Structure 1
């Protein structure tokens, strides 16, 4: 996710149909849970927390298909939101050094009471720490702030500075067992190809801006070809361009007695993309989990495909 401060989150509640139920405990996969295969790995539909299925990454590590993002959250709000997210059933938690909230995320994890091995924690190496030695120091600082002994996933946040040195450091940390999986964020296909030219360990994830208005179809295809999974930051585009009130999404949401947010997340899921929505409101935290009891019809998936503007909604991040 980007490093700019987010605008006030749009209130989705007024777009919620009165028949929608917010009960994470009632989630199930059934015939609705299986998205299409992404590349060659198998989507695991075993029983995870709150019914969230896992994706098997290219190194064999399993990662939840839906997680909790923390960009823009800080202090006690972040700490409480993380605790509530874990309580609701999230197991994938995403943070980054540049978010300035790793300590709060760590406190939220500690207060949750959930065993560490049941969580999947992601953080990211910022540009200031690019390079072999500085990347290792940056990683250790992240571990200290999170109060953890290892990370499940560590990403190069942006393709800036000494990427080759950073990747070498991350490969060594991975081989030492300090990181369960390593990946990248905000890399385009050209930058990915350059990394792959020298990488001894292939990245498992590329976390990029992905939502209905910027579907990143070319990146999607390239990542599939390399068996690197796609993860969406800003799956709601932070409400930019009126996503929460979009006419197409609103009509589809009414059809399923869901919200535009739930439809958006379900669309990501059916494409086989991991999404990490963020909210500090408990009702929204729970709402975002409730996407596994329905399936978007092909016609609805195609209707959402037509919303693609093929243009970033975050020009300040480009």
Structure 2
């Protein structure tokens, strides 16, 4: 296993990214600067997180060259539609303070208005062709969404960012991604969502199987889960604002899980989703205006 993943268009992406979902705008810059100092080189944000400016500030404060950092952001459903999505790109790069993006993805499918989803993706294809973005993709797309998108567009998504952790691994989505040459990006990769939604008494961090593996390797539960993702070929995007956790989550390249250990984590899947049901995403329920830059 290497520390990078090559996407289907040849672009090289770090295997481990740093996420800023639910990170307050005023805390984002410091968290990003800390992550880059630790060694992360991929920062994942989204227009709907409302913290792209903080990400840009953190990147500039790090002192690293722009070319050394892989920047990913997402277009929110309220900005779907060809022209609106092109404008969404402009809003994001202005907030981030950059000219180009390494990866731009659609944040959700809009099952009840898939024509808007297709138009938005065609805008991403234009940005890719124009060299404004290096790779394009999707997020929270189920196999049927991928099939419908691929039938109507030209560029196969480079990534599909979905909820994947030991308690919800979405094997059907992962199989569909592999079949199309799409990298699965894992959000909530260490099951943080299991700590604050559903039965909080049973979380991935205290699961006996995961804790047992952690003890055996002299690692933490989080490190074991991140290693599980990397060895199974997924990209993982952990998030934290605590410097010690940010560093801990990056310290996963000096040990290896055996095949039976990986299988024991695979077997923990409950089939219970923590995030929103993708088929239920509508503009009426989830639409929100994304501010101008």
Would you call these one fold, judging by a TM-score over 0.5? yes
| 2:203 alignment partner, SS class | helix
Q: How does 1:93-242 map to 2 (within 5 A)?
A: 93-160=43-110, 161=113, 162-238=116-192, 240=194, 241-242=202-203
Please point out which of 274, 287, 300 is paired with 2:261.
300
Shift of 1:169: 0.8
Quote the Cα distance in structure 2 between the aligned partners of 1:113 and 1:300. Answer: 40
| 1:237 alignment partner, SS class | coil
TM superposition outliers: structure 1 runs of 4+ over 4 Å: 315-318
Aligned length: 268
Contact 2:191 2:203 in 1 (8 A): no
Shift of 1:314: 2.5
Quote the Cα distance in structure 2 between the aligned partners of 1:237 and 1:199. Answer: 33
Partner of 2:221: 260
Shift of 1:305: 1.3
| 1:248 alignment partner, SS class | helix
Shift of 1:75: 2.5
Deviates more, 1:254-263 or 1:162-171: 162-171
Quote the Cα distance in structure 1 between the aligned partners of 2:34 and 2:118. Answer: 38
**1:55 pairs with 2:5:** yes
| 1:206 alignment partner, SS class | strand
Quote the Cα distance in structure 2 between the aligned partners of 1:189 and 1:233. Answer: 17
Alpha-carbon displacement from aligned partner over 1:271-297 (angstroms, at most 9, x marks no partner) = 100000000000000100111111111
Partner of 2:287: none
Shift of 1:216: 1.0
Quote the Cα distance in structure 1 between the aligned partners of 2:88 and 2:275. Answer: 26
TM-score by length of 1: 0.82
Quote the Cα distance in structure 2 between the aligned partners of 1:140 and 1:84. Answer: 27
Q: Which ranges in structure 1 are unaligned for 5 or more consecutive residues?
A: 1-33, 35-44, 46-52
Q: Which ranges in structure 2 are unaligned for 5 or more consecutive residues?
A: 195-201, 281-293
Please report the RMSD computed on the Cα atoms of aligned residues, expressed in angstroms. Answer: 1.2
Q: Which has the higher contact order (CA 8 A, sep 6+)?
A: 1
Alpha-carbon displacement from aligned partner over 1:24-69 (angstroms, at most 9, x marks no partner) = xxxxxxxxxx2xxxxxxxxxx3xxxxxxx11110000000000100
